[in-house]
Amino acid sequence: MGFELYSSAPETTSAPKTITAAQPSADTPPDSPLEETQELPRNPAPRPNVYYNPRLDPKNFLEGPLSHNPSTRLRQMLARPGIVVAPGICDGISARCALEAGFDCLYQSGAATTASRLGMPDLAIATLNDFVQSAQMVCSLNPTVPVIADADTGFGGPAMVARTVTQYARAGVAGLHIEDQVQTKRCGHLMGKQVVSREEFLTRIRAAVIARDSIPGGSDFVIIGRTDSAQVLGMDEAITRLKLAADAGADVCFIEGVKTAELLKETVAALAPKPVLVNVISGGLTPSFTCQEAEQYGAKIIIFSLVSCVAAVHGIRAAMQSLKKTGTDFSSAKGMDPKAFFEVMGLQEVIELDARAGGKAFEVV
């Protein structure tokens, strides 16, 4: 399919706008010191030279029942008390297990998706189509549960970033994050990362926002700006980039590889009132914060990117080694027969739907 960007303006009572005034420049040298790190008021008036869409103001999502629309629901969760916990899923099985455990938000990890779909490392190998196809399946399992999806660098220039947003939104994804690594990116917890200029990063964010605001009817799709620059250019530059991304329209700020609790607290304070996302990977650059600790430090979203695929490697590896050694899968099955397995995959839902429609194919299974 070709480039897709809706041409109609969002149906809002007041169009998004940017008011021009002085602000930190996207062209400021990377080693320029961060000027403001003090905590800001939680509900300030819209600041000059900042993208502002009154329809998407967090105060509009504070009250009322949770929406069946996943993007709207995610905005409600962000606006209300409590941290959003999103376990990383890599396929339909891991998504089913996360839903069964009671999680009310999921994270489609780029690393996990690349590993699951392609059997490859997270080194810019998976494409937009790989990610969208996976998202379509995951989002269909429970369409009301928000799925936050990794979108790497947006897979190209502004037109491709815009296409990524529209494709993800159409797949049912609630929000995505766009990062500032070069196109030949890598997992954010590996060494040797390179990042693009501030302006190129902001171009990606602006393209994502334009695409979201061009979706007919007024989309609540959440744009998350991610920077990997902390390990390359330092924390001051990382925070400055996220401030600029927020000014350009990012709804949430994601700083990859924050190394201490104090740095996370400082990041949250510097970026307030924008919500901050923290990514926890066991053995990675960020400490193994618990959900409770991350909330105490001020983070609004915590994702555990590799929780499912690392567990899958351990479990599958053990099962394969046991089968090779013993010649049977009896011990690794742990008493789970085929029907019990399919019940985790939604067997009863399919049986009930068939029966309600008048079908008789699955009266006995």
> Chunked in runs of 10, what are the mean pLDDT values of the chain (365 residues)?
45 49 47 36 60 97 98 98 97 98 98 97 97 98 98 98 98 98 95 97 98 97 98 96 98 95 97 97 93 98 97 97 97 96 97 96 95
- The residue annotated as part of the active site, out of 51, 107, 168, 297, is 107
Token pair belonging to 173: 């994804």
CA distance linking residue 17 with residue 47, whole number of Å = 11
CA distance linking residue 165 with residue 150, whole number of Å = 11
- The residue annotated as part of the active site, out of 73, 75, 177, 241, is 177
- The residue annotated as part of the active site, out of 198, 206, 226, 241, is 226
The whole-number pLDDT of residue 46 equals 56
- Does 6 participate in catalysis according to the annotation? no
- Does 337 participate in catalysis according to the annotation? no
- Does 104 participate in catalysis according to the annotation? no
- Does 186 participate in catalysis according to the annotation? no
CA distance linking residue 283 with residue 109, whole number of Å = 17
- Does 187 participate in catalysis according to the annotation? yes
- Does 69 participate in catalysis according to the annotation? no
Which uninterrupted H or E stretch holds 200?
Answer: helix 198-213
- Does 152 participate in catalysis according to the annotation? yes
- Does 226 participate in catalysis according to the annotation? yes
The whole-number pLDDT of residue 49 equals 78
Q: What does pTM read for this prediction? A: 0.88
Cβ-contact 298, 274 below 8 angstroms: no
CA distance linking residue 183 with residue 41, whole number of Å = 36
Half-sphere exposure of 77 (CA within 13 A, CB side): 28
- Does 150 participate in catalysis according to the annotation? yes
